[in-house]
Structure 1
């Protein structure tokens, strides 16, 4: 991994032992390879500053800070912490598999907070991946289903990581082809379902119109019969008068 700026994450420094310990605290939970890169960068910068510093107290403070960082690097390499690094999948590989997505969000910015007074997204990601990998280690689920990532595998992929990254990258075009066709089928199915729903609504409207007309006709019929009945009563009342005449 090429050396980059150690201060990509703000707040890192080497002025004394306390600042060095604070820096390690800031780096805690981030990508292991980035932690090592940042600390080695701080050591390199500290060595350059030492050559320009004559104040004995400042020199001692910087040397104390370097000791903290050097101990960190030794412990890192002794425990092979690089194996805990969850390398990011290429974005194109993730996008090729997005039709399998239910919910999820992938952010890998080291300086973007996940909320007010909350850790940055790289820390959130690593924390989530540790939990997911523990579940996978404990339950040993299948990572593939019909040549596509399983649900458990997709949960990792949506955080930009896969234990089988090389297979993901190698089969990206196959995923796009297969899932592109599946997406078209799903789209057509959704359209047909929507059309059926609209047809059902039209049928319901038609039934309502027929019922409304039927109710109206029944009402008119009853009114007509009522008027006829009244006319008959009137005739029967007038009959005796006509007869008496």
Structure 2
């Protein structure tokens, strides 16, 4: 577990602010998903709390989290939320928590998918707050509560073990397309799907899209399997991700990128930004410099040959 993760909480405004401070060392996607998860749990705790002081403190913490999400493009009324709504992303079939079995099936389905934290922290949490309240049938309420408990236990473990780090977040399509095209046919087809007319760079669509040769395994699952193989190869070979001289991604790293993933996305983006800043004139200068180096090397060789020719004439 990463240092500080166990200190996340929402008991009052001070704790919420402390949590946001601790999250500053993490990337933005991790921060948003964690805050959404805490927000969902805080709202659920509200429904089970009666003490006025506790209600007041938790509501204050909720206000802190909601304000932060609005300011950082993660709120319900944010531009991002609006985009998802307009884009009409199809939901993954089979998800639910009507009882314990349904909840366990949901976790099984999510286990192979890269969008697991989003399902867990957003969809599940938001629905957990309201579902038991909407039903009057005691048997249904009991079954739902059992399903809810399965998911809540998972979410607590998920956060405690900091498993969001294994999410293999998608690189934006705009980043991937700045680099050489893949040679692997499956990776090429994946990028065509990711940037095609349906997904349009929105990875959530890949959960309900399939390769031409397999109409049962969605692209997000295929991607995770390919990434697992490549990451294992990188680990076993102790391969580097970037060339030490040029700063360019290595071949194995490039293969990861072709599946819209990089273990070091910030460094990769810096490299791409550096490439973009190189004007044609700068490239020409670099080329000239390289040519000069080659010329100098050639002259050095000629210089070594000349004394030999002079020696022959003296003989």
Q: TM-score range by the shorter chain?
A: 0.5 to 0.7
Q: Does 1:58 align with 2:156?
A: no
Residue in structure 2 matched with residue 102 of structure 1 by the alignment: 183
| SS of residue paired to 1:20 | helix
In 1, Cα distance between equivalents of 2:164 and 2:224: 13
Q: How far did residue 74 of structure 1 move?
A: 1.7
Q: Distance in 2 between matches of 1:166 and 1:43?
A: 30
Is the Cα–Cα contact under 8 Å of residues 90 and 208 in structure 2 kept in the other structure?
no
How far has the Cα of 1:177 moved from its partner?
7.0
CA distance in 2, matches of 1:43, 1:19: 16
**Higher RCO by CA contacts (8 Å cutoff, separation 6 or greater):** 1
Larger radius of gyration, structure 1 or 2? 1
- Alignment partner, residue 255 of structure 2: 155
Change (3 A) 1:91 1:11: same
Alignment partner for residue 141 of structure 1, among 221, 235, 239? 239
Query: Distance in 2 between the 1:102 and 1:116 partners?
Result: 20
Deviation at 1:44, TM superposition (A): 2.9
Partner of 2:207: helix, strand, or coil? coil
The reply to whether residue 112 of structure 1 matches residue 226 of structure 2 is no
Aligned length: 180
Gaps of 5+ in 1: 186-245
> Is the contact between residue 29 and residue 123 of structure 1 (CA under 8 Å) also seen in structure 2?
yes
Q: Is the 8 A contact 1:30 1:123 kept in 2?
A: yes
Give me the CA root mean square deviation.
Answer: 2.9
Q: Tell me the residue number matched to 2:119.
A: 38
Contact 1:16 1:61 in 2 (8 A): yes
| CA separation of 1:116 and 1:93: change in aligned 2, threshold 3 A | closer
Match of 1:126 among 219, 224, 234: 224
**Contact 1:96–1:176, Cα closer than 8 Å, also in 2:** no
Separation (CA, whole Å) in 2 of partners of 1:143 and 1:45: 40
Q: CA deviation at 1:122?
A: 0.9
| Residues in 1 aligned to 2:179 and 2:90: alpha-carbon distance in whole angstroms | 34
Give the TM-score normalised by structure 1. 0.64
By how many angstroms is 1:144 displaced?
A: 2.3
Is 1:90 the counterpart of 2:172? The answer is: yes
Gapped regions of structure 2 (runs ≥ 5): 1-31, 33-73, 195-202, 288-315
**SS in structure 2 opposite 1:160?**
coil
